[in-house]
Structure 1
Amino acid sequence: MASEATTLTVDGPNGPREMRISSPGRVLWPEPGITKLDLANYMVDVGEAFVRANGGRPITLQRFSENIDGEQFFSKNPPKGAPDFIRSVKVVYPSARTHPQLVIDEPAAAVWAVQMNTIVFHPWPSRAENSDNPDQLRIDLDPQPGTDFDDAVPAAIELRAVLAEAGLTAFIKTSGNRGLHVFAPIEATREFLDVRHAVIAAARELERRMPDKVTTAWWKEERGVKVFVDFNQANRDRTMAGAYSPRPLSHAPVSCPIEWDELESVDPRQFTILTVPERLKATGDPWADMHSETGNIDTLLGWWQRDIDTGLGELPFPPDYPKMPGEPPRVQPSRAKKAAD
């Protein structure tokens, strides 16, 4: 017997495409009963804004075997049998290995990804044609245990001021969970390590201004009850959920762009697969003009050098990275203390 399937017509820059969705009734989010077809229709509804935010970039797909509670894995290169309009670009990973990475160019490609059981989309901060040089500075504000979204809000507002002093225009979105993501469009002329250093400089400046609320401590045991500025999200091949990407949490939330004047009053739980399409229709896309003007990270790199000159050095890299120049030991502070005793 043929498997259950349906077809969606998806408009795009190259005309409509007929996209097959198998197992459309499979429930991906059990609590609200949201199905695979519901997710595919969501991607059609938000397709233009989704592609504007995430398209033309190397992208990693977070795919699930059954539903959000099932097995999951990350897919970077196009699977066999991908439609001929799905392209890839070769990128360099931290290991110095080169490999093709998926690129989404139109809404039908996002719907195809849903057919491949994708729930979360993780775009690079650089464009496919210039993948070594990010055109977005991204900062992840991650509330630690004992803090929540409301604690990230004042940190984001102050971070916006910090970036403005550095000549950058900040945009903001909910993470889809408890945190906030702050982006700033930048000239694509600096490589990832420079952008990482710019992020660290901004994070340290924010920490100075809010020492009781914000931390740049990499080790969890040192963070306290604060909002962590996750500077390692700025590294090559490190990504966060893209704008309008769903998240695998029980209420089917979406990482949703918002206006700055909404920030102090929004409830991030209200942005879901079921509500965001109507929001887009009613209010438009807050990120529509993000890249109409770009800044540069020269001022932030000046702050980085200032901090280096006063004794603040490099910060730890992710554990799977090769040892980097100037990096402190990758030893948990409590373990290092025990070894020294």
Structure 2
Amino acid sequence: MKVAGVEISKPDKVLFPDDGITKAVLAEYYAGVADRMLPHLKDRPINMQRFPDGIGKFSFYEKKVPSHFPDWVRTVEVQTADGPQRQVVIDDRRSLVYLAQQACITPHTWLSRAEHLDRPDQLVLDLDPSAPDEQSDLAKVRRATRLAGEALEDLGLTTYLKTTGSRGYHVVVPLRPEEGFDEVRAFARAVAERLVEREPDLLTLEARKANRGDRVLVDILRNGYGQTVVPPYAVRARPGAPVSAPIAWDELSRVRPAQVTIANLGRRLAAKDDPWAGMRRHASGLARARRRL
């Protein structure tokens, strides 16, 4: 069968065994959501999280472009610790569907674009629960997410919110690509440190899970060169096939981190305006916010 002009081999291969979701279903999902998703992928290098035999089995991250990829899949050269390397860039529906054909369930994007790889155009705070029982931590994660958004807004920055499709939320600030990753991450750390000072029983910057207790991690490490984030509408390799979904701030108390899925996203898109519409028009620099901080 073909989806968006891409031949899907073994379309009946089950990628989500508990849900019966096949490679064909994944390809059709990405083809259908491409118009919404591509603006968040365009010009960004991609790390591919691939599951050849479905979730729960062997998987791997692939950064370098495989030799068998067709010429029509765009690539960009990036600098790595091992020297220059070419990575995939997804600019059109066909390339996005081709990733699904390769059993790439989740593409992970850089926070910068090809034109200025060393200067991010977004800042991300990742609010992640520490306890294994995410349901009991949900109220804490939501409170932590709200505090993070308010702190950034108080500094004069415009914030956007999305579910991760996993256990937490991302607070995203669109930036003008003026500063390097080191400067942006230092700013993110300063904001996170201020939050932890205010709410030490709720929040932590401790990377080691054993040292977090039941506090919510304010993860700022994604704001580094070559680091990646799950983009809007990407599918996560978890039962139910949840997706990372942009939500409005007033939905934080109602939408769980993994509530939006392949199965129900279409109804959501039909019923609601895009909460991230016009996002780039609100991109800002960090100089004034840094002074306020």
- State the TM-score bracket (shorter-chain normalisation): over 0.9
Task: Please name the residue that 1:268 is paired with.
Answer: 257
Per mean C-alpha deviation after superposition, the further-off stretch among 261-270 and 61-70 is 261-270
1:7 and 1:273 map into 2 onto residues whose CA distance is 20
Alpha-carbon separation, structure 1, partners of 2:290 and 2:276: 26
Q: Is the 8 A contact 1:174 1:255 kept in 2?
A: yes
Q: Which residue of 2 aligns with 1:165?
A: 154
User: Does the aligned pair in 2 maintain the 1:167–1:295 contact within 8 Å?
Assistant: no
Deviation at 1:238, TM superposition (A): 1.6
Residue 113 of structure 1, aligned match among 81, 99, 107: 99
Answer yes or no: is 1:212 the counterpart of 2:198. Answer: no
Q: 1:240 to 1:148 in 2, by over 3 A?
A: farther
Q: Is the 8 A contact 1:65 1:72 kept in 2?
A: yes
Which of the residues 35, 39, 42 maps onto 1:52?
39
**Partner residue in 1 for 2:236:** 247
Match of 2:53 in 1: 66
User: In structure 2, the residue corresponding to 1:266 is in which secondary structure?
Assistant: coil
Matched residue type, 1:49:
R
What SS class does the counterpart of residue 200 from structure 1 fall into? helix
Q: Give the aligned partner of residue 282 of structure 2.
A: 293
Aligned to 1:235: 224
Change (3 A) 1:245 1:151: same
8 Å CA contact 1:215, 1:227 repeated in 2: yes
User: Displacement of 1:302 after TM fit?
Assistant: 4.3
Using the TM superposition, give the Cα deviation of residue 285 of structure 1 relative to its aligned residue in structure 2, in angstroms. Answer: 2.4
Matched pairs, number: 290
* Deviations, residues 252-278 of structure 1 (Å, cap 9, x unaligned): 111111111111111333311111122
Gaps of 5+ in 2: none
Distance 2:178 2:23 in 1: 40
Query: Which runs of 5 or more residues in structure 1 are unaligned?
Result: 1-5, 11-17, 305-341
The 2-side partners of 1:112 and 1:168 are apart by: 36
> d(CA) in 2 for partners of 1:193 and 1:148?
31
Matched, 1:87 2:82: no
User: Is the 1:126–1:133 contact (alpha carbons within 8 Å) kept by the matching residues of 2?
Assistant: yes
TM-score normalized with structure 1 length: 0.81
Does residue 98 of the first structure (1) align with residue 84 of the second (2)?
yes
Runs ≥4 residues deviating over 6 A: none
- The 5 Å alignment of 1:126-205 reads 126-145=112-131, 148-205=137-194
RMSD: 1.7
Question: So what's the TM-score if we normalise by structure 2?
Answer: 0.94
What do the CA deviations read for 1:218-238 (whole angstroms, capped 9, x no partner)?
333332211001121212222
Aligned to 1:233, what secondary structure does the other structure show?
Answer: coil
Distance 2:83 2:127 in 1: 30
The one-letter code of the counterpart of 1:61 is M
Alignment-mate amino acid for residue 286 of structure 1: P
> Compared with structure 1, are the counterparts of its residues 136 and 249 closer, same or farther at alpha carbon in structure 2 (3 Å cutoff)?
same
SS of structure 2 residue aligned to 1:234: coil
| Secondary structure at the counterpart of residue 80 of structure 1 | coil
For the residues of structure 2 that align with 1:302 and 1:197, how far apart are their CA atoms? 13
| Contact kept in structure 1, 2:235 and 2:241, CA below 8 Å | yes
- In the TM superposition, what is the alpha-carbon distance from 1:303 to its structure 2 partner? 7.0
Tell me the distance in 1 between the aligned counterparts of 2:184 and 2:235: 27
Q: C-alpha separation between the residues in 2 aligned to 1:132 and 1:202? A: 21
Aligned partner of residue 229 in structure 2, secondary structure: coil
Deviations 1:310-330 (A, max 9, x none): xxxxxxxxxxxxxxxxxxxxx
Task: Give yes or no for the alignment of 1:7 onto 2:11.
Answer: no
Match of 1:32, SS state, is coil
Quick one: which amino acid aligns to residue 234 of structure 1? N
Report deviation, 1:129: 1.2
* Bigger Rg, which one: 1
